[in-house]
Chain A
Amino acid sequence: MTTAGSTYDQLQRENRRSTRFLLIGSILIVAVMVWVVAGALLGGVVLDPVLGVSITAIGTVLGIVFVLAASRSGPGLALRAAKAREVTRQEAPELHNLFDEVCVAAGIMGTKPKLYLVDDPAPNAFATGRSLEDSHVAVTTGLIERLPRYELRAVLAHEVAHILNDDIRTVTLAVATAGLVALLADVLVRFLYLGGMRGGRGGRGGQGGGAQAIFLLLGLVAVILAPIAAQIIRFAVSREREYLADATAADLLRDPQSMVNALRRIDGDHRSLQEFEVATAHLWFEEPNDVEQQGGASKMARRFATHPSIRERVERLATLNAGTVRPDAPLPPPPSPGERGYR
C-alpha cells in the first residue's frame, strides 16, 4: 500500500471516530432535554434512578425514531426544493460520460445514482438519498457551464463520495437530533410560560412542587443552551463529512489537483443559489449562500456554517496529497460558452 493510501485510511478512521463522538454528544443533549421536560411535567419522579433513567431512555429513543421516520421523505423533498429535474444522456452526453467515469472507479456501475439538473447560474451540486440503490446527484447548469472537464468530474466524485461514505444518513441524523432538541426546547418554553401563570394563581407546596421549581429553573437554562449546542454539533458533523468527501473523491480518481482546482474556481465565484432552503444547505457542494465575512463575526459565523471554508478544504487536500498537488498552480481555462450543450 502506498503512503498516500495509508494517510487517507487514517483520515477516514479519525473522521469516523469524530463523527461518532459528535453524534453521541447530540444524542446525549436530546436525553438531557427529555429528562428536563419529563421533570418539568412529572416532578420529582425523574429523580428516582430507575424510573428517571427508563423514562429518559424511552423518551429519547422514541423521539429519535420518530424524527428519523419523519425525515424519510428527505430525498424527494430536497430535489423538489432545489427544483431539480432528471437529465438524460441525450440531453447531456458529456456530463453522463464524466459521471460514468466516477461510478466505474467507485465500482457502483450496477447501482448508478440518478443525475439531475438544477437551472441556476451559481456553480454548485448536491447528493441525496436513503441508500446506494436510492441515491440522487444534482448539479447546477452554472457548474456545467463554468467548470472544465476534469474539475466537473471531481465535483461529481465529491457527491458520489458522500453516497459511498454514508454521509447522507449521518448528516440526516445530526440534523434530525438538532431539530428534536429545538422541538423539546419549544415544549419547555410553552410549559414554563403556563407553569408561571399557574404558579401566580394558586399556591403550591410539598416536595413535588419544590422539585418542579428546580426543573423550571433547569428548563430555563436548557431552553437557551441546548438548541445552540445541538446546532453547533450538527454543523460540525456536516463540515467533517465535507473534508472526508473531498479526500475520498481525490483518492477515487487519483486526481487531487482537479479537486483543488474546482474548489478554487468555485471559491472565486460569488453567485448565490436562487432556490435554496436553509434546511437543505448541508447537502450542497459549497455553502449555497455565498457570504464573505471578516473579523470576529466571521469566526462565529463559521461555527454555524454547514461547510468548512474553501481555503481550509484546499489546504487539507494539499497536506493529504503533499507533493502531487499545487494549490497555486494556474487554473486551466474554463469551457468556451456553448461548448457543453445540455438542453
Chain B
Amino acid sequence: MLAFSLVLLLLLVAVVGWVVAGYNRLVRARVRIDEAWAQIDTQLQRRHDLIPNLVNTVKGYAAHERETFEEVTAARAKAISVQAPGELAEAENGLTQALGKLLAITENYPDLKADQNFRQLQEELAHTENMVAGSRGHYNASVRDYDTARKVFPTSVIAGMFNFEDREYFEVDTVEVRQAPNVSFE
C-alpha cells in the first residue's frame, strides 16, 4: 500500500514537472519573439529617422523630382502610423518600393553620387537595411521555433491547456542597396 502510494506520488511529481518544463519552454520562446519584435521596431525607427535626411540630400541635386519625394514621405508617414505586424509589413513594403525609386533616380545625377554626405548616407542606408533584414530574420526564426513548440506533440497539449496564441510572421521585400556581389539570395 505504502509502495503503491509512493509510486503514485512520484508519477504525479513527474507529470507536474513535465508540465512546468513545457510551459516554461513555451513562455521563453514567446519572450524571445517579443524581444525580437522590439529589435525590429528599433531598426525600423532608425530607417524612418534616416529618410528625411536622405530626401533632403537628394533634393539638393534633383529638386524637380518632387513626385518621388512626396511618395517617399507619404510612405514613411504611413509606416510610422501602423502597429500590427501584418499591416506594418505591408506599409514597410510600400516604403521599400518608394526608396527603391528614389535610389534609382540618384543614378541619373553623377554630382549627387560623388557627394561625400550622400555616400555616407548610402553606407548608413545599406547598414540600416541590413539591420532591418537581420532583425526580421531573427524575428521569423523565433516565431518558427515558437510555432514548432506549439504544434509538436507533447508540448502541443500544454500549449492548448494554457492557450498560447498564434504569432504572425513578418514578410517584406528588401530594397537592393548593396553594390556587390551582384547575387540575390532572397
Q: Tell me the A residues contacting B by CB distance below 8 Å.
A: 1, 94, 97, 100-102, 104-107, 109-110, 148-150, 252-258, 261, 324, 326, 329, 332-333
Which residue of A1, A102, A254 has the most chain B CB atoms within 10 A of its CB atom?
Answer: A254
Decide if B39 touches A104 in the complex (CB within 8 Å).
yes
A-B pairs, top 10 by smallest CB distance, nearest first, are A105-B134, A332-B180, A104-B134, A107-B138, A101-B130, A97-B127, A104-B135, A257-B183, A254-B185, A332-B181
Contacts of A333 in B (CB 8 A): 180
Give the chain A neighbours of B181 by CB distance below 8 A. 150, 257-258, 261, 329, 332
Q: Which residues of A contact B130 (CB under 8 A)?
A: 101
Q: Nearest Cβ distance between residue B93 and chain A, in whole angstroms?
A: 18
**Closest Cβ–Cβ distance, residue A85 to chain B (whole Å):** 24
Identify the B interface with A (CB < 8 A): 32, 35-36, 39, 43, 123, 127, 130-131, 133-135, 137-138, 141-142, 144, 178, 180-181, 183, 185-186
Return B89 CB to nearest CB of chain A, in Å.
Answer: 18
Whether A148 contacts B180 by the Cβ 8 Å rule is yes
* A-chain residues with CB within 8 Å of residue B138 when the two chains form the complex: 104-107
A104 to B130, CA, bound (A): 9
A98 to chain B, nearest CB (A): 8
Contacts of B35 in A (CB 8 A): 107, 110
Query: How far is the CB of A149 from the nearest CB of chain B, in Å?
Result: 8
A333 to B39: give the CA distance in the assembly, Å.
33
Q: Is the CB of B183 within 8 A of A324?
A: yes
Of the listed residues A102, A105, A254, the one surrounded by the most CB atoms of chain B closer than 10 A to its CB is A105
Q: In the assembled complex, which residues on chain B have CB atoms less than 8 Å from the CB atom of A256? A: 185
Q: How far is the CA of A102 from the CA of B181 in the complex (A)?
A: 18
State whether A94 touches B183 (Cβ < 8 A): no
Q: Cβ of A324 and Cβ of B127 under 8 Å apart?
A: no
Interface centre among A97, A107, A255 (most CB of B within 10 A): A107
A-B pairs with beta carbons under 8 Å apart, 10 shown: A102-B134, A105-B134, A106-B138, A107-B32, A107-B35, A107-B142, A149-B178, A150-B181, A261-B181, A329-B181
Given A104-B43, A150-B178, output 11 extra A-B contacts at Cβ < 8 Å.
A104-B135, A105-B133, A105-B138, A110-B35, A148-B180, A150-B181, A257-B183, A258-B181, A324-B183, A326-B183, A332-B181
What residues on A are CB-neighbors of B123 within 8 Å?
94, 97
Assess whether B180 is in contact with A150, with CB atoms less than 8 Å apart. Answer: yes
Which single member of A100, A105, A150 contacts B137 (CB below 8 Å)? A105
Q: Which residues from chain B contact A1 at a C-beta distance below 8 Å?
A: 144
Q: Which residues of B contact A255 (CB under 8 A)?
A: 185
Q: Which residues of A contact B36 (CB under 8 A)?
A: 107
CA distance A174 to B181 in the complex (A): 38
| Contact residues in B for A332 (Cβ distance below 8 Å) | 180-181
- Give Cα A329–Cα B185 distance, bound, in whole angstroms: 15
Question: Which residue of chain B has the shortest Cβ distance to A102 in the bound complex?
Answer: B134
User: How far in angstroms is the closest Cβ of chain A from B134?
Assistant: 3
Q: How far is the CB of B126 from chain A (nearest CB, A)?
A: 8
- Chain A residues contacting B135 (CB-CB under 8 Å) are 104-105
Name the distance in Å between B43's Cβ and chain A's nearest Cβ: 7
Complex alpha-carbon distance, A195 and B123, angstroms: 71
Q: Measured between alpha carbons, how far is A150 from B181 in the docked complex, in Å? A: 8
In whole angstroms, what is the CA distance A330 to B76 when docked?
38
Could you tell me the distance in whole angstroms from the C-beta of B98 to the nearest C-beta in chain A?
A: 23
Q: A150-B178, A150-B181 are in contact. Are A101 and B32 (CB under 8 A)?
A: no
A93 and chain B: residue at smallest CB distance? B123
In Å, the complex CA distance between A101 and B127 comes to 7
Q: Which residues of B contact A105 (CB under 8 A)?
A: 133-135, 137-138
| Alpha-carbon distance between A105 and B135 when the two chains are bound, in angstroms | 5
- Cβ-defined contact, A101 with B134, below 8 A: yes
**How far is B137's CA from A101's CA once the two chains are assembled, in angstroms?**
11
